[in-house]
Amino acid sequence: MTEEDIQDVASAFVEARRAAKILDAFPGPLPETLAEAYQVQDKALELDGRPVAGWKVAGVHPDLQQKLGATRIVGPIFAENVHRLPAGGVAAVTVFDGGFAALEAEFTAVLARDLEPKAEGFTDEVIMAALEGIHAGSEIASSPLPSLNAIGPLAVVSDHGNNAGAIVGPVIEGWDRLELETMTSRMLVNGTLAGEGSAAKPSGGPLESIRQLAENLKARGRMLKKGDIVLTGMTTGIHEVTPGAHARAEFSGAAPFDIDVNAASNNRGA
Ligand SMILES: C[C@H](O)CC(=O)C(=O)O
């Protein structure tokens, strides 16, 4: 991609999100590498200008991991799209009506302090020492481009990692001592069970997601800061929704929370 391509693709996604305008195709040449896709993501962050309160991490399909040289991808979460439900309750979230929209039950880390790189790298011990806790949570994944997820990780990274928000629910009781398999999750959409899982679903669990995110951000001259949140990867599936949907997220060791899905409008995009 040329510098002009990067600018044009980033600007098209930022404008489409700002105006809640649906795109009928990827707006320009698709990046050929993840390095190019992150250049688009960084340009979009620069053009958008809103404060970032954290990051989402998603798995890369095993068939694509070798070609892309990664097992995870990441994307930013804007502060205004973070819903905090410390005791459970209901979050009213927005998605792009006619675009891609999905909810995902995710173990969600909150940083108690900056995650500084150490000589030994971002080890489990280094990460655990920087965490305030791991919470029940949900990603609101949405893009103005309905085919974004189907096109694949290069497209997803280019459009803000396909993120439109996060719910940070109650802290998981015993988060710092439980085995990953015993930290279970399930999501119901419109009253029907949509999927079940556990913290073991993203290979290596939440700490591996945070480690790969920290390495990714370091390479981009960024870092995880005190108060940041991290959506550590879907555990029960990618549950596609449309405005008007209602969902419930249930995690072992935490009160449940509910989600009301609304359409983003041009004065409150995602
Ligand atoms: C819907 C996203 O593009 C995928 C994702 O967030 C995940 O797999 O996790």
Side chain identity, residue 65: Q
**Ligand 1 atom with minimal separation from the 238 CA:** 1
- Please tell me the pTM assigned to this model: 0.96
pLDDT recorded at residue 265: 84
104 lines ligand 1 (CB under 6 A): yes
Residue 254 confidence (pLDDT) above 80: yes
Residue closest to 72 by CA, chosen among 48, 106, 102, 46: 106
Task: Tell me what the mean pLDDT of segment 179-191 comes to.
Answer: 95
The set of residues, in sequence order, having a beta carbon less than 8 Å from that of 29 and lying 6+ positions away, is: 1, 5, 9
Q: Percent of the chain beyond pLDDT 70?
A: 98
Residue 269's pLDDT band (cuts 50, 70, 90): low
Residue 166 confidence (pLDDT) above 90: yes
Q: Whose CA is nearest to atom 7 of ligand 1?
A: 58
Question: What is the distance between the alpha carbons of residues 266 and 21, in angstroms, rounded to a whole number?
Answer: 8
In Å, the largest CA–CA distance within the chain is 49
**Ligand 1 atom with minimal separation from the 139 CA:** 6
Q: Percent of the chain beyond pLDDT 90?
A: 94
Nearest 10 degrees: Cα torsion 42, 45, 48, 53: 170
Residue 169 confidence (pLDDT) above 80: yes
Task: Tell me what the mean pLDDT of segment 185-212 comes to.
Answer: 96
In three-state secondary structure terms, 43 is helix
| Residue of 156, 185, 213, 241 with the most ligand 1 atoms within 8 Å of its CB, for mutation | 156
Residue 270 confidence (pLDDT) above 80: no
Residue whose token pair is 């990051």: 55
pLDDT recorded at residue 104: 98
Question: What is the distance between the alpha carbons of residues 110 and 226, in angstroms, rounded to a whole number?
Answer: 8
pLDDT digits (tens, 9 = 90+) for 67-124: 999 999 999 999 999 999 999 999 999 999 999 999 999 999 999 999 998 888 999 9
**Which domains are assigned to the chain?**
3-263 (3.90.850.10)
CA distances from 158 to 35, 154, 155 (A): 10, 6, 5
pLDDT recorded at residue 13: 98
Residue 267's pLDDT band (cuts 50, 70, 90): low
Task: Tell me what the mean pLDDT of segment 152-175 comes to.
Answer: 97
145 lines ligand 1 (CB under 6 A): no
Residue 198 confidence (pLDDT) above 80: yes
**Ligand 1 atom with minimal separation from the 156 CA:** 3
Report whether 47 contacts 11 (CB < 8 A). Answer: yes
234 lines ligand 1 (CB under 6 A): yes
